[in-house]
């Protein structure tokens, strides 16, 4: 690993800001640092595939110089003035010289008519959008990896299961990019776990905002009833600054990072586990996960928090009891996506597709790229295109799911007299937040012995309680300072690259 004080693997946005304020670095320096790291490990070195495209070099340098000049003139736009950020390649960015592929060849080399609303907020705040991150193709809807550049990776491969060795989806490249030092911050979007699941597997902090609290125009939709923005960072303090921008509301400075006075509840880890149909079962990992979460509970209790265990939260599948033919939020996505994607595609005047039917035909015509041997199906698209759900049925399903999820989270918090509910990241635990429309956070904890992939816990709170989650994350960072250290395999790759250089 580099011995430079500007080590991209560990440099946080907070530290970068301090150095900018002290005149020790410039925004030009930061842009060059992160471009160099992307060059080292995106397509070569560790070959992480986290980035689909980088902004034009001269545009980046011009923006960095402009922001440096503003700083010199004491015109500081905000705490993240002059700090680089990665954004998911589902956010429209034409003014920044980058297209938006959504992971599909159908939009490759296409440009939209205007930036996403949240991109405008980042630019106004003085941030530098350095690159676009890899993602699952068409986010959660097609259920395939990006066909444009392939999947990003987060661990050494000792198993054939793609769910073990990949960072989940769909904001995977954003999470990997922060972990790999491609930027200190990244922006993602979540329909169901798409921010906090990748954060869990990349050893970074992640936070998905409350549904309806962020501007979604110009962001590829999954389901408007579920979609929301989220962010990735190396520290909770960095997250607070970024969430303040994208939610357009200030979050309190987290000076007090003690556990004293906090009340947290943990669900029973063994009851929350992905089924065999989703992920390869690794008994060694399950045992390690339970031991380390148990140890974390003790650490937190010894640090002054009131810890309740086990906090009883109904299983995720129980949310759908008595809703005929429904066992997940998929019907919501199936009903909304075909309609939403038409409006989104209107923002690409020259794109070869206009509807979901067009996408299906495009994929069939371009099967070599879009339907390769390892992922030859687009059954999910076909099923959604043939979906017969009515507006009345959709409204009823959404109302029942949202009411049950919100009531269950509230019941668990009240009955246990706790502020947040913690559960394993490798589970559908976080999906409660999507169903309820509330916020959810990802807190890193350790690395799996069997393949080096990161793991952590997720935290649920009531809708609108992002501040409470940020406070818990700040205390968590104090208790587990090594949780976001660079994975050993990535450090080895970095050192190997330097040796060759």
Domain chopping of the chain, boundaries: 1-501
3 state DSSP class of 84: strand
Q: Report whether the peptide linkage leading into residue 310 is cis, meaning its omega lies within 30 degrees of zero.
A: yes
Give the Cα separation of 30 and 24 in Å (integer): 11
- Least Cα distance to 193 among 399, 432, 421, 424 occurs for 432
Q: Mean of the pLDDT values across residues 246-266?
A: 89
DSSP 190: E
Give the Cα separation of 318 and 340 in Å (integer): 28
Give the Cα separation of 197 and 170 in Å (integer): 9
Comparing 162-171, 351-360, 374-383, the range with the smallest average pLDDT is 162-171
> How remote is the C-alpha of 403 from its chain's centroid?
25
- Residue 160 confidence (pLDDT) above 70: no
Element (H, E) at 86: strand 84-88
Q: Mean of the pLDDT values across residues 313-335?
A: 94
* pLDDT in the model for residue 281: 81
- Least Cα distance to 377 among 142, 146, 168 occurs for 142
Where does the pLDDT of residue 466 fall: very low under 50, low under 70, confident under 90, or very high at 90 and above?
very high
Q: Mean of the pLDDT values across residues 281-305?
A: 95
Interaxial angle between packed helices 236-246 and 117-124, expressed in degrees from 0 to 180 and rounded to the nearest 10 = 120
Residue 415 has φ and ψ, to the nearest 5°, of: -65, -30
Give the Cα separation of 404 and 416 in Å (integer): 18
Q: Mean of the pLDDT values across residues 292-312?
A: 98
Element (H, E) at 422: strand 420-424
- Least Cα distance to 111 among 122, 121, 127, 96 occurs for 96
- Residue 364 confidence (pLDDT) above 80: yes
Give the Cα separation of 426 and 197 in Å (integer): 8
Q: Mean of the pLDDT values across residues 202-214?
A: 97
* More reliable by pLDDT, 373 or 312: 312
End-to-end CA distance of the chain: 13
Give the Cα-Cα-Cα angle 411, 414, 419 (nearest 5 degrees). 110
Q: Listing from the earlier edge strand, what are the strands of the sheet with 263-266?
A: 51-54, 128-133, 84-88, 185-190, 228-233, 205-208, 440-447, 454-460, 420-424, 263-266, 306-308
Core vs surface per residue 36-58: b (16+ CB within 10 A) or e: ebbebbbeebbebbbbbbbbeee
Give the Cα separation of 466 and 472 in Å (integer): 10
Core vs surface per residue 63-100: b (16+ CB within 10 A) or e: bbeebbebbeeeeebebbbbbbbbbbbbbbbbebbbbb
* More reliable by pLDDT, 483 or 252: 483
- Residue 159 confidence (pLDDT) above 60: no
Comparing 40-49, 162-171, 487-496, the range with the smallest average pLDDT is 162-171
- Residue 70 confidence (pLDDT) above 60: yes
Give the position of tokens 């003139």. 73
Q: Mean of the pLDDT values across residues 308-337?
A: 95
3-class secondary structure per residue, 202-243: HCCEEEECCCCCCCCCCECCCCCCCCEEEEEECCHHHHHHHH
* pLDDT in the model for residue 2: 37
Query: What is the percent of the chain with per-residue pLDDT over 70, rounded to a whole number?
Result: 94
* pLDDT in the model for residue 492: 79
Give the Cα separation of 179 and 168 in Å (integer): 14
CATH number, span 1-501: 3.90.1300.10
The string of DSSP codes covering 102-118 is TT-GGGTT---SS--HH
Exposed / middle / buried, residue 470 (Cβ in 10 Å: 0-12, 13-18, 19+):
buried
Where does the pLDDT of residue 158 fall: very low under 50, low under 70, confident under 90, or very high at 90 and above?
very low
* pLDDT in the model for residue 485: 84
């Amino acid at each position: 690993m580099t011995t430079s004080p500007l080590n991209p693997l560990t440099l946080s946005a907070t530290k970068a800001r301090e150095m900018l304020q002290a005149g020790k670095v410039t925004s030009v320096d930061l842009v060059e640092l992160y471009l160099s790291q992307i060059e080292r490990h995106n397509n070569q070195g560790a070959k992480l595939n986290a980035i689909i495209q980088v902004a034009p070099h001269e545009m980046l340098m011009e923006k960095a110089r402009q922001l440096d000049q503003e700083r010199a003139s004491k015109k500081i736009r905000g705490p993240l003035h002059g700090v680089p950020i990665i954004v998911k390649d589902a956010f429209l960015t034409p003014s920044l010289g980058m297209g938006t592929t959504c992971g599909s060849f159908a939009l490759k080399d296409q440009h939209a008519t205007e930036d996403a609303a949240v991109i405008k907020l980042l630019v106004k705040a003085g941030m530098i959008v350095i690159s676009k991150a890899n993602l699952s193709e068409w986010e959660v809807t097609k259920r395939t990896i990006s066909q444009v550049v392939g999947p990003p990776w987060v661990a050494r491969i000792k198993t054939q299961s793609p769910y073990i060795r990949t960072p989940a989806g769909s904001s995977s490249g954003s999470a990997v990019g922060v972990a790999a030092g491609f930027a200190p911050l990244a922006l993602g979007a979540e329909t169901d776990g798409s921010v906090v699941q990748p954060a869990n597997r990349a050893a970074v902090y992640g936070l998905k905002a409350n549904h309806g609290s962020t501007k979604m125009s110009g962001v590829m939709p999954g389901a408007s009833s579920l979609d929301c923005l989220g962010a990735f960072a190396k520290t909770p303090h960095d997250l607070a600054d970024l969430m303040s921008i994208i939610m357009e509301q200030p979050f309190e400075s987290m000076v007090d990072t003690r556990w004293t006075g906090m009340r947290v509840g943990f669900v029973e880890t063994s009851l929350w586990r992905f089924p065999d149909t989703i992920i390869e079962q690794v008994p060694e990992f399950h045992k390690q996960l339970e031991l380390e979460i148990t140890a974390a509970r003790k650490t937190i209790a010894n640090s002054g928090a009131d810890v309740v265990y086990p906090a009883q939260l109904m299983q995720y599948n129980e949310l759908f009891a008595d809703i005929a033919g429904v066992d997940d939020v998929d019907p919501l996505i199936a009903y909304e996506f075909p309609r939403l994607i038409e409006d989104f595609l209107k923002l690409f005047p020259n794109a070869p597709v206009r509807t979901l039917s067009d996408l299906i035909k495009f994929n069939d015509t371009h099967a070599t790229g879009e339907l390769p041997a390892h992922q030859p199906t687009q059954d999910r698209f076909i099923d959604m295109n043939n979906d017969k759900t009515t507006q009345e049925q959709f409204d009823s399903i959404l109302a029942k799911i949202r009411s049950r999820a919100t009531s269950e989270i509230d019941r668990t918090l009240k009955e246990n007299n706790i502020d947040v509910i913690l559960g394993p990241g490798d589970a559908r635990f976080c999906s409660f937040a999507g169903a309820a429309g509330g916020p959810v956070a990802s807190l890193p904890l350790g690395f799996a012995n069997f393949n080096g992939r990161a793991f952590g816990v997720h935290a649920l709170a009531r809708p609108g309680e992002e501040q409470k989650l940020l406070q818990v994350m700040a205390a968590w960072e104090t208790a587990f300072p090594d949780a976001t250290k660079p994975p050993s395999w990535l450090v080895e790759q970095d050192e190997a690259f330097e040796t060759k250089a």
